[in-house]
Structure 1
Amino acid sequence: MSQSLLPEDYPANLLTVDEPEVSVVVPIYNEVESLPQLLEAIATTLKQSHLNYEIVCVDDGSRDGSAEWLRQEALKRADLRAVLLRRNYGQTAAMAAGFKHAIGRVIVTLDGDLQNDPADIPRLLAKLEEGYDLVSGWRKQRQDAALTRLLPSKIANWLISRVTGVVIHDYGCSLKAYRAEVVTDLNLYGELHRFLPVLAFIEGARIAEMPVLHHSRRFGQSKYGLGRTFRVLMDLLTIFFIKKFLTRPMHVFGLFGLLAIAAGVGLGLYLTFVKLVIGEPIGDRPLLILTVLLLTTGVQLFSFGLLAELSMRTYHESQGRPIYRVREVIGAGHVQRPRNGDKTVL
């Protein structure tokens, strides 16, 4: 296989490789009206770019017929793999399932609602070829409601950039291109899909951002709202801790623990001096209660730091466990049963 992501004179030459050069991962939740146009747009764009490709659609427990449509279409098309999850796990789990089942050397993600434009995919791939590991789309001219979508998004993007140190204008844009090795070892939970650039940065990825097209929603209603804000904030705190102390939790818990113990010991020596040298009673002094609290809290924080160190070592040394359960995988004229930890849960 060619070492280059794209042909040397891209897009003129046709790649002749057995496995797809590009995997397009699309999480689907109640988007049956959009699917025919979406798949046709993706296929047309990548065929015009002369790239071998596959489309991996992950149905996240849809109830509008999306899963059945994907099932039937995957049995007809050689370029489509449908991954059907047992229930609605959320976009993060759907993307994790898509990453697991994609086999291309480059993975492109986009939403299934036709708001992302597949025509931007070649531009992302060309940018990736400049030496980046991840290229994130920026919906510079975003076609969404100003008060309920644009304003919260701008605040969230500013906050995430400040807290994580990874400055990106549009963390919420699903249209991204990754080198496959970047996402292979990432374990996703909660709402962590929007923090993929930060997680990739932690692993040493080189990241770029470029403006992409954004269209108004044509079918159905948005699945996102202000109710996700609290979950995103909690995940932001998780990401901040991971970025700063993932491999050294003792540095934060142990530090605060030692400071508390030192302060408790200092106050204890002072109270001992007051009691034994000056001869004043200390039983009714608030400082005595504070001393006990500082010593107790310090020991607990230090112990928690040790436990966190053990947990992190277990995390890094053990194999990951999927956060989703696949019912079946259909594609290329055959049915694939769950494998590699995708167990059937009754």
Structure 2
Amino acid sequence: MRSSQRANLQAIRPLGVRGVPTGRAHEQGERVEVSVVVPARDEELTIGPLTEALGRELTAQLAERGWQGGYEIVIVDDGSRDGTWGEIERAAERDRSVCGVRHPRGLGKAAALATGIRMARGDRIVLMDADLQDDPTELPRFLNELERFDVVCGWKRERQDPLGKRVASRIFNAVCRRVFGLELHDMNCGFKALRREAAEAVYPYLKGELHRYVPVFASAAGFTITELAVRHHPRRHGRSKYGLARWLAGACDLVTVLLLTRYRERPAHAFGSVAVVAAALGGLAALPLALVGGTRTALAAVPVAMVVPAALFSAGFVAELVVHGRGGGASPRHASHDASGRLDADLVDPAAANVPALAVADDGTKTIAEAKGA
């Protein structure tokens, strides 16, 4: 097989089954009640303790609630440079409900979450970080809230992070509350739980750094959202992946999210509003010129001041033509579903989530399941 045809992902899954993770529930053909999706990058010291704690908690919840199905823990290794993948393999050997996917390089948290949601088969999908700052014992409270709401967002009320990160988070969340009207205190919290239909609705938007706005996309799609104060532990291993650059990127993404949600079906309103403001500022700038250089100087500056507003108005009209020419502001291509309504990993367009396709490796690399059968 040519190298250009080699798979971009390694996954722990049954040999010959494309896009379906290995796990106790899948091997027995059972229904999966809960999927926990964990993006991980350079977290070799936390994978073992995290999967053991999740396994204990999920096993207890299945028994307590009388659910007939199983659970799965989907860990996405986002291009780790340490021994994270080896720890995922060992965790899968200890607990057959653990499965893993490996990105060949760091594609970002949004892409890792998209990959995890694609593989998840549970009716309820829990998202959490791998750094042990999220407490697995909070899972029962999330599952309880999912009985009444479609999306449950964690709120790190007593956040165990450096001061600079806490201040940046407060500013970010205050701006988001003001702009989007969602009364959430911690929109960027990685600990969330979603019903499957809500997870599939936000899946197409998991690109770049847009994972921060999962509640916004869910709300725009009509899903109900609530908030749950959770315990937050200090980071014991590794280092934070977030810095000033990521917060600045998140601020820029806010404009993108506004266009994708509030102005998706009426982009001319967004561009037109900015154009009016730009025209007003241009008019104000012409007043000093009129006082200093006279009316002729001010009039000469008007065409220059109107360039930006005219360009914005034009862009708005073009955007309207594009949107309505495609049949309205339809959402991006939705993932295909099988008869049971679940996400079909084989039919989803990989480009929709900006992640490589899930495929059986052609380069001779053996997955755990293959190695056991060799």
Query: TM-score category by the smaller chain?
Result: 0.7 to 0.9
Equivalence for 1:140: 157
Which of the residues 294, 302, 316 maps onto 1:290? 302
Equivalence for 2:242: 224
The structure-2 alpha-carbon separation of the partners of 1:331 and 1:167, relative to structure 1 and needing over 3 Å to count, comes to farther
* Contact kept? 2:127, 2:191, Cα under 8 Å: yes
Which of the residues 143, 146, 166 maps onto 1:150? 166
Per the TM alignment, residue 252 of structure 1 is displaced from its structure 2 partner at its CA by 2.8
* Contact kept? 1:55, 1:79, Cα under 8 Å: yes
Q: Distance in 1 between matches of 2:182 and 2:76?
A: 28
Equivalence for 1:267: none
Per the TM alignment, residue 255 of structure 1 is displaced from its structure 2 partner at its CA by 6.0
Deviations 1:95-122 (A, max 9, x none): 1111111111111011001110111011
Q: Distance in 2 between matches of 1:297 and 1:221?
A: 44
Pick which of 104-113 and 213-222 moved more: 213-222
Equivalence for 1:304: 315
1:244 counterpart SS class:
coil
Per the TM alignment, residue 318 of structure 1 is displaced from its structure 2 partner at its CA by 6.0
Q: Please tell me whether residue 89 in structure 1 is matched to residue 120 in structure 2.
A: no
Q: Please tell me whether residue 18 in structure 1 is matched to residue 30 in structure 2.
A: yes
The structure-2 alpha-carbon separation of the partners of 1:127 and 1:307, relative to structure 1 and needing over 3 Å to count, comes to same
Q: Please tell me whether residue 70 in structure 1 is matched to residue 101 in structure 2.
A: no
Q: Distance in 2 between matches of 1:258 and 1:156?
A: 27
Deviations 1:181-229 (A, max 9, x none): 1121332222111111111111111110011111111212222222322
The structure-2 alpha-carbon separation of the partners of 1:233 and 1:317, relative to structure 1 and needing over 3 Å to count, comes to closer
Pick which of 61-70 and 221-230 moved more: 221-230
Which of the residues 330, 335, 350 maps onto 1:316? 330
* Contact kept? 1:74, 1:80, Cα under 8 Å: yes
Unmatched segments (≥5 aa) in structure 1: 1-15, 265-281, 336-346
Deviations 1:28-87 (A, max 9, x none): 001111001100111100101115211110110001111233235435642112111111
Q: How many residues align?
A: 300
Q: Say which one has the larger Rg.
A: 1
Pick which of 326-335 and 121-130 moved more: 326-335
Equivalent positions of 1:1-346 (< 5 A) are 18-50=30-62, 51=67, 52-74=70-92, 77-130=95-148, 132-145=149-162, 147-186=163-202, 187-254=205-272, 284-291=296-303, 294=306, 297=308, 299-312=310-323, 314=326, 316=330, 319=333, 321-326=352-357, 333=369
The residue identity in structure 2 corresponding to 1:316 is A
* Contact kept? 2:180, 2:216, Cα under 8 Å: yes
2:330 counterpart SS class:
helix
* Contact kept? 2:48, 2:87, Cα under 8 Å: no
Deviations 1:259-312 (A, max 9, x none): 999xx9xxxxxxxxxxxxxxxxx9945325415753x55553333123223444
1:21 counterpart SS class:
strand
The residue identity in structure 2 corresponding to 1:321 is A
* Contact kept? 1:75, 1:334, Cα under 8 Å: no
The residue identity in structure 2 corresponding to 1:300 is A
Per the TM alignment, residue 246 of structure 1 is displaced from its structure 2 partner at its CA by 1.2
* Contact kept? 1:21, 1:105, Cα under 8 Å: yes
Q: Distance in 2 between matches of 1:158 and 1:292?
A: 37
2:43 counterpart SS class:
coil
The residue identity in structure 2 corresponding to 1:305 is G
The structure-2 alpha-carbon separation of the partners of 1:194 and 1:287, relative to structure 1 and needing over 3 Å to count, comes to same
Q: Distance in 2 between matches of 1:292 and 1:55?
A: 59
Query: For the aligned residues, what is the CA RMSD?
Result: 3.1
* Contact kept? 2:89, 2:368, Cα under 8 Å: no
* Contact kept? 1:81, 1:331, Cα under 8 Å: no
The residue identity in structure 1 corresponding to 2:51 is L
Q: Distance in 1 between matches of 2:44 and 2:79?
A: 12
Q: Distance in 1 between matches of 2:277 and 2:233?
A: 54
Q: Distance in 2 between matches of 1:180 and 1:332?
A: 28
The structure-2 alpha-carbon separation of the partners of 1:55 and 1:82, relative to structure 1 and needing over 3 Å to count, comes to same
The residue identity in structure 2 corresponding to 1:303 is S
* Contact kept? 2:271, 2:313, Cα under 8 Å: yes
The structure-2 alpha-carbon separation of the partners of 1:165 and 1:61, relative to structure 1 and needing over 3 Å to count, comes to same
Pick which of 314-323 and 34-43 moved more: 314-323
The structure-2 alpha-carbon separation of the partners of 1:259 and 1:32, relative to structure 1 and needing over 3 Å to count, comes to closer
* Paired-residue identity, %: 38
* Contact kept? 2:201, 2:221, Cα under 8 Å: no
